[in-house]
Structure 1
């Protein structure tokens, strides 16, 4: 299905809501219907949960009118976003587990790009649980898609945002209904985000001199510009049916279609020394992504017992084309690099859980989950000169074909025990055994040493892991206090290497290969990282959903993965390797407080402080790479009786410096963001105006290599631009 056809389908899905929008707009006196649900507040649900989940509900998801889930979650306690990657406790790269409706998110799926309109809630879980994957050293984010609950209703939403001279429109439609015992729901979004990014980079190369100092042998300034445009259509259909005999069936689907077009240019000015091979260059990239996800669940009650079975199928496909054109210092067209790549992934999964109460306050559960993932990637690269204008030094035509196929089998068995020992003490005990087997096949490639077998022209590498993961949690309500409690959790978790990191194929940089800009190559001998973790929290609840939470955590990680850097035939290469042990610990504070209840003014604030140390790397910057040492949010929200709401949020992410490989240090600057919103009813609907990135600070980063003889540095500044978004929503 082409993207144009997808957008037409999305527009057609929005058409049924158009007459209703017109009718409501014609009568401005008709108020927007509000649905009030009476039940325990979020603070009460958080206190009663034995696993300590933090639920980010619909109110927080739609408060600022965000079109990206990442923009919502970056305001939550302990969360940060680095390059679009969602991270808990500053740790990403597989340390944070991302789930969709309790199942692992597909590899090609970027949860940061998911529209919040498709999401019912996001559950943040700091500690592990036995009936879910233990690949969650930093924690777990569970994205729960919209449900087909409540009375029949529909809604439509239109929005447009403006940033850096480009406009990004978006549209959402939702239908929810019930016909007897059958409930149905469909949420669709069409979004066309556009971005314009500029960057200014200063690079230096130094060499030791006879005077024991270093002299600059090369200094360059690079100006970069990138323009990108994405067309995305996403739909989340859902069905649920209540059957006779106390059973129910649910089906949840997800369709995500995206087409990305990006173009960039780079211009280099040489201050000292020689220019790079291609001081003037440009590139373009085109990709088509498709994701289909289907989950079927069945629940049967046998008196007080419950059996839950689930089966899921995922299919994703990515087809991308990349072209790089380099021009030498004399103005001659040089390197012409064309890369075509395909990635296909298929995942089948099944799980089951049997829950039986031993008493009114004591439940035990046993179960399993299993999955099989098949991923195949092809990458064909062709380098050549460019026509008759190529200079004498233009490269000869070369080709590089890199294909691989990976199969991952996973099987887990678990048992857990939830027990309310007394009105003030809850206990959770669990044990999970999880086995993984990853088989990577590289046609015509040289196999790795160790666990490698060769059959014909295909070399295969098989990696296995078996992990026993006990988990124990306690919740103790302090004496003489119904709203103050202490949490304590101990668990063993792990992080498995991704198939792409196990493949020993080379990804080459287009220009200026150096220690600060090396090629990348996978490592088939990577082992899983294992961790023991301890979590503790003190939670104090007040009236009107006000609360204060202070938590601490510690992790001891074995076989931590770091980058290894070396030169091969004059070319710098980076590769992941297991490199000893690491320690991670931190503190988090989360607070919600009504400042002026009569005026509807609420304050929310959170602060997270993270530390880490890699034992095998010399200090003082021997922390895990890209771990944000500090995250903080301070916000105010106000709601009036007339339906007007407004608020603002100040976000801070501390800068860091980390020794990510021998003699190599990465530095990231401080992030400061200020945003505000206002929402009001008018014209038969609800309007929302959002202003973001009001402080406009540059995003700064640096990478430095210094082996005592030679050194090189790259300093990059990326200007930021304010954003304005206007949104209109109607409901029926």
Structure 2
């Protein structure tokens, strides 16, 4: 009788670095290790440490997510491959809800090409391979504010069904303090305006996240996935502003020395997607998704302005309600061309949404004009079709080519009814050249066309009238004749993958942007107004460096020390604005991250720290307008103690330096000069997280 030998095949899960290496189109992938490292309470603090990503605004208070240093909507944010809902901020998303983060530096045909700087895709929690329960209990402290939280996850599977149920509840309590100084001069150089103010505000509330996911296996190679996401936030704030004005010109109304403000805000969002995946003829695959979403926001705000005697002189009550609902449908069919390493894909994307706003503003009991009247409704419809070809020509050469057509129509009613249409063809070509079949060095290149649509508010002809009209607080109006910004881009990168999972990367990019949109301030009929216009062409270039290595890959050492670093240097110029400093708005000139992780051999302890830095810079918005942004230096640190494979305690500190953050502007228009400087106080945040698996 012939002896039958038992053969056991074991598999190793691919690391995020290995997954990045084999991609034909550039995609940076960051998993749970990066998300958990510092025990962050919001996703923005995680993103600011990733290569090529920066966070605008005051440290510890969130802000706009930017790639390549570019602000003002040049970065596309997706959640599970779909655009993030308007009004929802990633600062509100708990990292516990996220499976991984994907960053693509050039647009892909299957995603919208509204990604001049790049795309960040947030992938929510997915299924695990075995039954598992996780719990995280956190306690945070920041400037007398206690911020507890709890997150739970349960995963299980049967023969045909697997599921993950994830939930997180967090309480926040934050304080803000800022000081503003504004000065003005007449055309003859004499100072005629001097005002200082101090503002304090406290924000409190709670956030709830729910992220269920179910996966049914319908047959061989066929499945149905249902992914839900729910978010609810209730917050309230109280603030006080003290103002002192020593000089005042004839145009400037008397400022109220004391202003008290309070607000209540309720924000809910629900998303539900169903995805059917399967096979069709000739080893092809298909993926069809249908989704729906609902977004609600209600806010009640009250502002009291008092005179020097403390008497109430102005009471402003501002109540608003927003409701947005939408549907989306996506389809993708993939077909091998002769061999499995040559894949042709084509598909479509369709989205429809309707947004309704109702706002009532009273000043001393009398109705006031709001942005779009008391009621406003906008509908947006988007339709796109694409085709892409991914081909591994040889073990050393791989190419990706795609073409996408995308059309958008926006219609609004309320105050002024308008309709706006635009469409764009977006080709893209990317490739990777592996220097040899065995070597881990490779070169990437990309050529693409992307675009940026005007904000809906910038398209509306009717706008907002400033109460205290001035060059620094002008009336805001829209422009229905705005065109989309169009950009051609080039990307190059060299990557070296090291033996123990490390990597070194050098990349460069260039973008030429046509129809650049910029809001200009001017004096018209005795009032200062700001209107967006397509002004000229702009260009931006940059170099980005990234390194992630273990010390043993550099020198002969037994220390379990991991080193991380990334650096970006960015240049830009706007043809329609005289220099110097005629940069793209909000683009930082440099960014730097340095970090390390060290695992002690004698103790079950890991420690680490990161330094995040951006320099001060100026941007000349127009011939007479300049903005100034101060430097930021943020230091974060953590320690992780492992009691057992099922229990560990993570202690972290954010913004240890807690330096003040400064912003300012200079305006010289119509014979009037104004300078404004605002200083924000920042605080160190402390956090403890107990992580359990059972």
2: distance between equivalents of 1:425 and 1:398? 64
Q: 2:501 aligns with which of 545, 563, 566?
A: 545
1: distance between equivalents of 2:260 and 2:328? 43
- The aligned runs of 1:139-538 (5 Å cut-off) are 139-209=118-188, 214-273=189-248, 276-302=254-280, 304-329=283-308, 331-358=310-337, 359-384=339-364, 398=368, 400=370, 401-442=373-414, 445=415, 459-479=416-436, 482-509=439-466, 512-538=468-494
Deviation at 1:331, TM superposition (A): 4.1
Deviation at 1:271, TM superposition (A): 3.5
Deviation string 1:41-66 (CA, Å, 9 cap, x unpaired) is 33221110011111111000000000
Counterpart check, 1:115 vs 2:115: no
2: distance between equivalents of 1:310 and 1:570? 54
Deviation string 1:679-705 (CA, Å, 9 cap, x unpaired) is 102497211111121112110011111
Aligned residue in 2 for 1:599 = 559
Aligned residue in 2 for 1:62 = 36
Deviation at 1:330, TM superposition (A): 5.3
Deviation at 1:360, TM superposition (A): 2.8
Deviation at 1:221, TM superposition (A): 1.6
CA contact (8 A) 1:383 1:399 kept: no
Deviation at 1:333, TM superposition (A): 1.9
Paired positions, count:
667
2: distance between equivalents of 1:661 and 1:377? 33
Deviation string 1:475-532 (CA, Å, 9 cap, x unpaired) is 001147621111000011111123233223433555x432122233333222211111
Deviation at 1:347, TM superposition (A): 1.4
CA contact (8 A) 2:17 2:29 kept: no
Deviation at 1:629, TM superposition (A): 1.4
- The aligned runs of 1:702-717 (5 Å cut-off) are 702-707=664-669, 709-717=671-679
Q: 1:629 aligns with which of 584, 589, 592?
A: 589
Q: 1:564 aligns with which of 506, 511, 520?
A: 520
CA contact (8 A) 2:81 2:121 kept: yes
Change (3 A) 1:263 1:506: farther
Counterpart check, 1:675 vs 2:610: no
Aligned residue in 1 for 2:7 = none
Q: Which shows bigger deviation, 560-569 or 119-128?
A: 560-569
Aligned residue in 2 for 1:611 = 571
Change (3 A) 1:426 1:398: closer
Structure 2 SS opposite 1:136: coil
| TM-score for both structures, normalised by structure 1 | 0.88
2: distance between equivalents of 1:115 and 1:197? 21
Aligned residue in 1 for 2:693 = 731
Unaligned runs of 5+ in 2: 1-9, 58-62
Structure 2 SS opposite 1:44: helix
2: distance between equivalents of 1:715 and 1:533? 36
2: distance between equivalents of 1:567 and 1:655? 30
Change (3 A) 1:276 1:57: farther
Q: Which shows bigger deviation, 52-61 or 620-629?
A: 620-629
Aligned residue in 2 for 1:27 = none
Q: Which shows bigger deviation, 710-719 or 331-340?
A: 331-340
1: distance between equivalents of 2:499 and 2:275? 38
| TM-score for both structures, normalised by structure 2 | 0.93
Aligned residue in 2 for 1:722 = 684
CA contact (8 A) 1:626 1:656 kept: no
Aligned residue in 1 for 2:656 = 694
Deviation at 1:399, TM superposition (A): 5.4
Q: 1:39 aligns with which of 3, 13, 29?
A: 13
Change (3 A) 1:728 1:276: farther
2: distance between equivalents of 1:479 and 1:362? 20
CA contact (8 A) 2:68 2:570 kept: yes
2: distance between equivalents of 1:190 and 1:133? 32
Deviation at 1:245, TM superposition (A): 4.1
Q: Which shows bigger deviation, 295-304 or 396-405?
A: 396-405
Unaligned runs of 5+ in 1: 1-35, 386-395, 446-458
Structure 2 SS opposite 1:598: coil
Structure 2 SS opposite 1:51: coil
2: distance between equivalents of 1:592 and 1:293? 36
1: distance between equivalents of 2:438 and 2:542? 27
Deviation string 1:592-647 (CA, Å, 9 cap, x unpaired) is 11124622101000001111111111111211111121111000101245532110
Structure 1 SS opposite 2:39: coil
Deviation string 1:10-47 (CA, Å, 9 cap, x unpaired) is xxxxxxxxxxxxxxxxxxxxxxxxxx983333322111
Structure 2 SS opposite 1:361: strand
CA contact (8 A) 1:384 1:398 kept: no
Q: Which shows bigger deviation, 374-383 or 170-179?
A: 374-383
